[in-house]
Structure formats: C-alpha cells, structure tokens
C-alpha cells in the first residue's frame, strides 16, 4: 500500500506533537486522525479501519520507561495482529527499539523527527507484507490455538537439575486445573513457564491470555479484566468482553500480581471465588471457565505479613507454587541459552553470526546475570546486531566485573552507556549541541543537563 492511500491514527499526549504530525502527514496520506487519550485506542482500532498507527510510548508525566506504550501496543495487536504500529518516543535507544520490534511494532522513530525520515519510515512500513510485520511471539499469543505452539516450550532450556525439577513439577501440574503461582526474579522466564504449563494442559487448544497487571492503572483494571457494557462510562460505545472472558476455556496469566493494590485484590478475589465476572455497568454475571496462572517477582509471603497482600487471595492463587531459579544458580544452562538466542536473532536480523567462542562462553558463565535470562537474551541480541564477524568474541558482549560468580555488576550500566553515546554524538557533530541532541532524541536543555551530570 502507498502512503497516499493510507488511513493513519496518531496517539500522543502532547498536543503540539499531534498538531505537527497531522500538519505534515495530511499532505501525504489519505486521512490522518489524532487522539490524546490512549484509553480510546480499543474503540478506535476496532472501528476506525486504520492502516497504520503512530503510538507514543509514554503518557504519564515524568515516566519514560515505555511501559505504557508497550501495554497499548499489546492491546492493539490483540484486536488486530496485522496492524502496522510505529512507536515514537524522545527517550529511544537501541534497547527500546529492539523491545518494540520484538513486541510486534513495525518500526520505531525518535522525536523530534526529521520530516523526510518520518515519511520514509511510513512508506517502508506500509510496503511491508502484513504477514511479516508481527514476530512469532505475537502470532503465538493471537492464534488462540487449534494447535500446540512449540516455540513457547522450546525456549525453556533445562539442562540444570534445578530447571529439570521445575519443569517436571510444571508438567505434572499442567494435567490438572490447579491454580499456579510462579515466583522468580525479573527475567527468569515466568511468562515462558506459564505458556509451558498451558501447552501441556488439556486446555492447550484454547486461548492463552496474558495480562500485565503492573501496566494497568486502577481506572482501567475492571474494564480491562472484566469488560464493560455500552454506556458504562464515557467512550464506552459498545459492549466489550474483558480478558477473563477472552480466555474462555483456556488459561489467563496474570503477571506482576504483587503490584495490585488492596482494593483491586478484593475485586479479583471475588471473581476467583465465585468463578463469575460482571462487566462494568452491568448486573449480569457471566460464568467463567478459565485456568488461572499468576506470577510475581516480589516476596509475596512477606507482603502478607506486612498486610499489603491479602492472605485469602494468596490461598486462592497458589494451589501450586513454581519457583524459578535465577540464572546465576544454573550456569550450566548459559551456553545452551546463548546458542538458542544466537540462532534466533541471526535469522531474525539476517546476520552472518553463527558461533560463540569458548572464551565468551567462559566469560558468560563467570558473570552473575542480575537481569537473568532477559539480560542474556538482550546481550546476545545486541551482539548479533553489532558484530561484523561470524563468531562472537568476549568484546562483543557489554558485560562488566566478570571476574567471578559473585560479581554484583548490573550488566548494562545505563549511565556509562549514555555517557558514551553522548561523547560519540558530540564527536560526530563536532560539538554542535543542536545536531547531537537531535541525533540522541533529546532536547538541547536535556542534553546540557546530561553533559553537566557527566562532566563533559
């Protein structure tokens, strides 16, 4: 499709950005709609017949993690897996770009953008074959299953005794309908383990629905999980099923359940106890037939002691507990995981990297991996993208303090990386603040603050 034939939707909380983007794109596209409130996205995507969406990544003041953008990207792809979505942010770097593309985005742009580059990005996105715009992870989530998906379980590497025991228990539990609570540090693979349980259950040909509770505001909680009826609130133009109903017959995975406030815990407990859900604005109860899997990286027993998590809710969700070990406690799995991701990303990015040197394997096994499997995955992904050789070497991975197992390094030192990027940008543009700021996706004032911070 050509840009001149496209209907475009732009979502951003900055009215100046919306106005500038519409002023530019209306000269090139068939139509351009703008919206400040991302909560209107489900209705707009369902009813707007758009060909492409430009989606901001941050909507809460002083928050630049991109979490909200990823939440809304996920919601868009739930409704229309083939939708072309381009993420826009002022805080972008290669990590966030990779995350966005992995999550299903077609491309990624930084603001303030250059007009020609933005137009070229839209042209390229619209020319992309729809079937190739969403990665396998997104396809798996949306297939709602007539077949078992192998990719979710194959990504679980279990050579260590600790992981073998976890998988053995998971597969025994999967045959039942028992509620499961998965515990583990960030990045240990809790979502993958939840999928593994689902794929080995009698519900494997039914939907697997994931809800990131940490990304939901209190105002969205009930509508998102329980659904709503037409007229229940402003912009509720039609009835909509919640995530519990979408998981009918299958599994609902509630990630980051430890983030729920006590009032939201009470509402969730009622639904779990009664096995019924009531849509917002309705008095009619809808029976539920779902398998419940929850996960958290928090010490939930301590939260119960501190009265920040309800004991009765914990009893309901942890019929069986699965405790995922951190990667530092399973070093024998590191080489296999690294090779798995090497093959995956070499193919995805069409890179010639095919092997990992023994010196790099040793280096990885000596590192503490505070970010666990997710950090290893990102490290290999970055190395594959940047390497010019067929074999990854120790210098290709940006790790620090790799002298032993007890290393306390945080892996990617974001401040060091930011300082390095600023230095490179300033050298590239011969000290021109305006050009360097534009290249880094920062305002001049923000760049000055960072230069002062790092003594540049």
In a domain, 172, yes or no: yes
Opening angle at CA 17, ends 424 and 13, nearest 5: 105
Can you give the residue range of the structural domain that contains 148? 143-325
What distance, in Å, lies between the first and last C-alpha atoms of the chain? 46
Q: Poorest-confidence range of 82-91, 95-104, 228-237, 274-283?
A: 95-104
Strand partners, 183: 296, 323
**What is the reported pLDDT for 262?**
95
Q: Tell me the pLDDT tens digit for each residue of 361-370.
A: 999 999 999 9
pLDDT bracket for residue 280 (50, 70, 90): confident
Q: Are residues 316 and 339 in the same domain?
A: no
Q: Are residues 190 and 66 in the same domain?
A: no
Q: Are residues 99 and 27 in the same domain?
A: yes
Mean pLDDT value across the chain: 82
Q: Are residues 41 and 77 in the same domain?
A: yes
Q: Are residues 160 and 277 in the same domain?
A: yes
Residue where a domain stops, chosen among 271, 293, 325: 325
In a domain, 408, yes or no: no
In a domain, 401, yes or no: no
| Region 28-36 average pLDDT | 93
pLDDT bracket for residue 334 (50, 70, 90): very high
Q: Are residues 156 and 86 in the same domain?
A: no
Q: Are residues 332 and 320 in the same domain?
A: no
| Region 135-140 average pLDDT | 32
Residue where a domain stops, chosen among 115, 138, 161: 138
Q: What is the pTM of this model?
A: 0.58
In a domain, 208, yes or no: yes
In a domain, 258, yes or no: yes
**What is the reported pLDDT for 260?**
94
- Cα 352 → chain centroid: 27
Does residue 313 have a pLDDT over 60?
Answer: yes
Number of structural domains found in the chain: 4
CATH of the domain at 430: 1.10.10.60
Q: Are residues 316 and 437 in the same domain?
A: no
Q: Are residues 134 and 30 in the same domain?
A: yes
Q: Tell me the pLDDT tens digit for each residue of 234-256.
A: 676 788 888 999 999 999 999 99
CATH of the domain at 8: 3.40.50.2300
CATH of the domain at 392: 1.10.8.60
Q: Are residues 202 and 297 in the same domain?
A: yes
Q: Are residues 309 and 182 in the same domain?
A: yes
CATH of the domain at 160: 3.40.50.300
In a domain, 430, yes or no: yes
Does residue 148 have a pLDDT over 50?
Answer: no
Q: Tell me the pLDDT tens digit for each residue of 174-216.
A: 988 899 999 999 999 999 999 999 999 999 999 999 999 988 8
**What is the reported pLDDT for 56?**
87
Residue where a domain stops, chosen among 325, 345, 360: 325
Q: Are residues 298 and 179 in the same domain?
A: yes
């Amino acid at each position: 499709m050509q840009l001149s034939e496209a209907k475009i939707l732009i979502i951003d909380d900055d009215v100046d950005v919306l106005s500038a983007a519409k002023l530019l794109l209306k000269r090139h596209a068939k139509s351009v709609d703008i919206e400040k409130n991302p909560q209107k996205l489900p209705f707009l995507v369902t009813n707007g017949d758009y060909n492409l969406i430009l989606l901001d990544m941050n909507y809460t003041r002083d928050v630049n993690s991109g979490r909200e953008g990823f939440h809304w990207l996920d919601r868009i792809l739930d409704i229309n897996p083939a939708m072309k979505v381009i993420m826009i942010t002022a805080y972008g770097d290669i990590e966030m770009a990779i995350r966005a593309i992995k999550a299903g985005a077609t491309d990624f742009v930084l603001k303030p953008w250059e007009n020609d580059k933005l137009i070229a990005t839209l042209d390229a996105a619209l020319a992309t074959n729809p079937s190739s715009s969403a990665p396998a992870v997104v396809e798996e989530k949306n297939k709602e299953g007539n077949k078992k998906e192998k990719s979710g379980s194959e990504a679980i590497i279990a050579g260590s005794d600790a992981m073998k025991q976890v998988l053995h228990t998971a597969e025994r539990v999967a045959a039942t309908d028992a509620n499961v609570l998965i515990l583990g540090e960030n990045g240990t693979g809790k979502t993958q383990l939840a999928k593994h349980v689902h794929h080995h259950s009698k519900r494997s040909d039914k939907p697997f629905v994931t809800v990131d509770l940490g990304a939901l505001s209190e105002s969205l909680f009930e509508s998102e999980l329980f659904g709503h009826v037409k007229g229940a609130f402003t912009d509720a133009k039609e009835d909509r099923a919640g995530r519990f109903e979408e998981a009918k017959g299958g599994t609902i995975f509630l990630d980051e359940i430890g983030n729920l406030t006590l009032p939201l815990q009470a509402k969730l407990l009622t639904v779990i106890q009664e096995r019924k859900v009531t849509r917002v604005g309705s008095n009619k109860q809808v029976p539920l037939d779902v398998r419940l899997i929850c996960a958290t990286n928090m010490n939930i027993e301590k939260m119960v002691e501190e009265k920040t998590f309800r004991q009765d809710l914990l009893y309901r969700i942890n019929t069986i507990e699965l405790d995922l070990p951190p990667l530092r406690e399973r070093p024998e799995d590191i080489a296999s995981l690294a090779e798995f991701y090497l093959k995956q990303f070499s193919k995805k990015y069409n890179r010639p990297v095919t092997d990992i040197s023994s010196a790099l394997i040793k280096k990885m096994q000596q590192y503490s991996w505070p970010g666990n499997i997710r950090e290893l995955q990102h490290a290999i992904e970055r190395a594959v993208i940047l390497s010019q050789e067929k074999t990854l070497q120790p210098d290709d991975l940006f790790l620090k303090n790799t002298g032993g197992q007890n290393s306390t390094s945080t892996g990617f030192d974001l401040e060091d990386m930011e300082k390095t990027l600023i230095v490179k940008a300033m050298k590239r543009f011969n000290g021109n603040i305006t050009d360097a700021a534009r290249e880094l996706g920062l305002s001049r004032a923000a760049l000055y603050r960072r230069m002062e911070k790092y003594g540049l």
